[in-house]
Amino acid sequence: MDLTQQWHAPASSAAGAARSRVEYRLAGVRLEADAVDCGDIPFEQCDPVRTFPNWRLKRHYDGYHWMGALGTTVGFESLTERAFLIELDRTPGVVAVASQPMWIRWVLPTGQREHAPDYFVRLEGGQAVLIDVKPAAHIDDDVREQFDTTARFAADRGWWYVVYDAESQVRMANLRFLAPFRNWGDGDELPSLPAGRQALAEAAAVYGVGADGYAHCYARLWSGSLETDLDQPLGLSTLVWERSASCALQ
């Protein structure tokens, strides 16, 4: 997942200059701040500002996902949000994440608007990323306007704003399969693969004999140091290749 691929809002809009305030909960205390004063607030440490609603015959799934890289659980209220957290767990440079970290409230010429972004992510070096999760098919004009307003709010703070809109059952099945191998062979010295692409079975044979070789292969696929098309089912003939050292954060 590439956290540098931000949602780009139209530049010309009165909403960009709208006054806004932020409500958040830190250490169990409800607090508010003017948006211009919230740049140094550690939103990655904040409690959720709202709970996930429940109703009879609810179609969405909510719960908590274990983030192995961070050693903590993070809440989700849909399978798409869980998919995002799985992707985030294998994204390099992530040091903290908070669910439902704030309410943003704007006063616009057309009235008031409020929004609670789905996640706040902190990266190494201090970069902040505000995240919303919404399947592409569900992004209508109203949602797009809300995302545009949030993108301008984030840009004014120097934050990145990303909308995760992917839905791929095959990719999620592959990542759920790979996740248990995330720490396999930590610290082991592994040989480099031959240049170019080769079948997964051939790569596994380079890393070791039998199941051990496959486990190393799956661990490297999870970390991203070994790449493949995860939108296709994994199999012994799946083509894999080593990631270039010059690749950007993604």
Q: Tell me, what CATH number does 27's domain have?
A: 3.40.1350.10
Is the pLDDT higher at 187 or at 153? 153
Given 164, 179, 202, which residue is the final one in a domain? Answer: 164
The domain of 198 spans 169-242
Q: Is the pLDDT of residue 136 over 60?
A: yes
Q: What is the pLDDT of residue 167?
A: 77
- Residue 3 lies inside a defined structural domain of this protein: no
Q: What is the pLDDT of residue 189?
A: 87
Q: How many domains does the chain have?
A: 2
Q: pLDDT band at residue 55, thresholds of 50, 70 and 90?
A: low
Cβ atoms within 10 Å of 141's Cβ, excluding its own? 7
User: Do 134 and 101 fall into the same domain?
Assistant: yes
Instruction: Give the pTM.
Output: 0.85
Q: What is the pLDDT of residue 53?
A: 59
CA nearest to 226, candidates 248, 249, 197, 205: 197
Q: What's the rounded mean pLDDT across residues 24-47? A: 93
Q: What's the rounded mean pLDDT across residues 23-43? A: 92
User: Do 182 and 150 fall into the same domain?
Assistant: no
> What b/e sequence results for 5-25 when a residue is b if at least 16 CB atoms lie within 10 Å of its CB, and e otherwise?
ebbebeeeeebbebebbbebb
Q: Is 145 helix (H, G, I), strand (E, B) or coil?
A: helix
Please write the tens of the pLDDT for every residue from 87-116. Answer: 999 998 999 999 999 999 998 777 788 999
Given 145, 164, 183, which residue is the final one in a domain? Answer: 164
State the Cα–Cα distance between residues 161 and 133, nearest whole angstrom. Answer: 11
Least confident of 2-6, 8-12, 84-88, 147-151: 8-12
Q: What's the rounded mean pLDDT across residues 199-210? A: 93
Q: pLDDT band at residue 246, thresholds of 50, 70 and 90?
A: very low
User: Do 41 and 157 fall into the same domain?
Assistant: yes
Is the pLDDT higher at 121 or at 55? 121
Given 116, 146, 164, which residue is the final one in a domain? Answer: 164
| Percent of the chain whose predicted confidence (pLDDT) is above 70 | 91
Is the pLDDT higher at 163 or at 61? 163
Q: Is 232 helix (H, G, I), strand (E, B) or coil?
A: coil
- Residue 4 lies inside a defined structural domain of this protein: no
Q: What is the pLDDT of residue 236?
A: 94
User: Do 18 and 51 fall into the same domain?
Assistant: yes
Q: What's the rounded mean pLDDT across residues 210-227? A: 93
User: Do 125 and 48 fall into the same domain?
Assistant: yes
Q: Is the pLDDT of residue 245 over 80?
A: no
As given in the structure block, the two tokens for residue 7 are 């949602």
State the Cα–Cα distance between residues 143 and 49, nearest whole angstrom. Answer: 20
